Structure 1
Amino acid sequence: MKPTPVSYIPTQFLSMDILATLWDRAVLTSYFDNVRKFLKIISENFEDIAFVKVNNIERTGMVKLANLDGPIPLNGMGDGMLRILQLVLGIFPARNGFLLIDEFENGLHFSVQKQIWKLIFELASDLNIQVFATTHSWDCIEAFSIAANQSDEEAVLFRIGKSVVPNDKGKTIATVFDKNSLHNLTQSDVELR
């Protein structure tokens, strides 16, 4: 029996070598246009990206922007660009399996999170991926809720916390919110974190 694919996107940023390897796996696939779509969320001027060897050490990302003559280092684009690249490249190895994202919002401005969630919902559906993500961010929960309600896909949020019910006081429990109840709660500003 073939093992189920699992892709893990950690809280910290991946090294350029790991990103370059993930890039190599995605670059000639039919889903590669999604990489560009994701990266344009951070910069509308984004045109292309390549991983090149610098000083015979490791490959590094170089980005071409429409408003500049030459490429600039990926690291110069900020944490958001690195995080989005990490997210989109981490999706492809999870095809027909699971994508695990630790602290989804790391490096991402709240204003782009809804767009990113929307694209993740689309790719997860296209690639048959079940996504599990952690967060402590209310902005991330709201963005997830909005994207979930705009998607036909199933989406739930699990809130993990300590029970206050006398019989179970102190036990760790999970409270499940489907996308409709989550939408109602986020509109009411009920604390879920």
Structure 2
Amino acid sequence: MWGTTENSNEEYDRENLIDEIDFDNNEIRRGANLILEVTTKQEVNTIDEEKEHSSYKRYRESREFIIMENEGLLNRAKSSTIKLSVNMITSISHKIEPLSKLFTQTTFQGFKQEVVELISMIDSDIIDLEILDPTGKNSRLYVIHKTLGITPLSAFGDGVRRLLFIALNVAKLKDGILLIDELETAIHTEALVPSFSWLVKWCRKMNIQLFATTHSLETVDAMLDASESTNDLVLYRLYQKDMQTKTVRIDQPKLGRVRENLGLEVRW
């Protein structure tokens, strides 16, 4: 049972309230300072009386960037702002942020079918998505379902809404940066690999740099499987030492050997 008419009305009111909130006016914004240091070595040819030989000279460059949610990427070394879209998805974004406007933009971009493809990985009976206005007062998202018919999105679980929210952000972030906290939130373990495969494919097609956090080994393994043919996955393990946060970088080939062949822990 999906609830009584009274419960459906409560869900409808909650959905409308979410869509009416203007989240762009929030005073609090999420962001981070990034300091990138690159060390390169350049070959230097030296000629003396006896023979010519080569040596290497090391060069280090450092750049500081500021990433702020829904803003451009700011390079502190320059006065201008790099035109690079950035958006962050928290573990509760799909619950509190409106979807109708995002879905409309996605439909105009011709990305709707790909969005439906992703959420159908949670429920294979999902056929389509539509924005409808049954009361003539406010429109909202409905799911076209083989068994349930035309049903409000709010009648479905967090997994459908979470994947939908991720897909809608991918659609608008071409050539940008997507930050996802707790990547596996609300997604059933059986749907992890197909969902991540979709995400990897479209991040590559849309030229999106994805940064995601997780504490789940199942998520690490699922992302390994989803990225098997791309070889562009990197895991950074964070740990505390001497009152500082340290990092260990594990590239995809090494991560695959550690997890698949040795079954070792990589979270700490």
TM-score by structure 1 length? Answer: 0.87
**Equivalence for 1:83:** 162
CA contact (8 A) 2:122 2:188 kept: no
CA contact (8 A) 2:231 2:252 kept: no
How far does residue 190 in structure 1 lie from its aligned partner after superposition? 1.5
2-structure distance, mates of 1:19, 1:123: 19
- Structure 2 vs 1, CA of residues 106 and 15 (structure 1 numbering), >3 Å: closer, same or farther? closer
CA contact (8 A) 2:128 2:145 kept: yes
Q: Say if 2:127 is the partner of 1:47.
A: yes
The residue type paired with residue 183 of structure 1 is G
2-structure distance, mates of 1:172, 1:38: 35
1-structure distance, mates of 2:174, 2:181: 18
Structure 2 unaligned segments of length 5 or more: list them.
1-80
Indicate the percent of aligned positions where both proteins have the same amino acid: 25
**Equivalence for 1:166:** none
- Structure 2 vs 1, CA of residues 97 and 153 (structure 1 numbering), >3 Å: closer, same or farther? farther
1:113-132 to 2 correspondence within 5 Å? 113-132=192-211
Q: What is the aligned-residue RMSD (CA, Å)?
A: 2.1
User: More strand per residue: 1 or 2?
Assistant: 2
The residue type paired with residue 182 of structure 1 is L
Q: Say if 2:236 is the partner of 1:158.
A: yes
Larger RCO, structure (CA 8 Å, separation 6 or more): 1
2-structure distance, mates of 1:97, 1:105: 21
**Equivalence for 1:178:** 251
How far does residue 176 in structure 1 lie from its aligned partner after superposition? 0.9
Q: Which has the larger radius of gyration?
A: 2
The residue type paired with residue 88 of structure 1 is A
2-structure distance, mates of 1:15, 1:59: 18
How far does residue 115 in structure 1 lie from its aligned partner after superposition? 0.9
CA contact (8 A) 1:38 1:84 kept: yes
**Equivalence for 1:67:** 147
- Structure 2 vs 1, CA of residues 34 and 20 (structure 1 numbering), >3 Å: closer, same or farther? same
Q: Say if 2:93 is the partner of 1:22.
A: no
**Equivalence for 1:133:** 212
- Structure 2 vs 1, CA of residues 112 and 158 (structure 1 numbering), >3 Å: closer, same or farther? same
Q: Secondary structure of the residue that 1:71 maps to in structure 2?
A: strand
2-structure distance, mates of 1:18, 1:162: 37
Q: Secondary structure of the residue that 1:191 maps to in structure 2?
A: coil
Q: How many residues align?
A: 186
How far does residue 142 in structure 1 lie from its aligned partner after superposition? 0.9
Structure 1 unaligned segments of length 5 or more: list them.
164-168
The equivalent position to 1:6 in structure 2, one of 66, 86, 97, is: 86
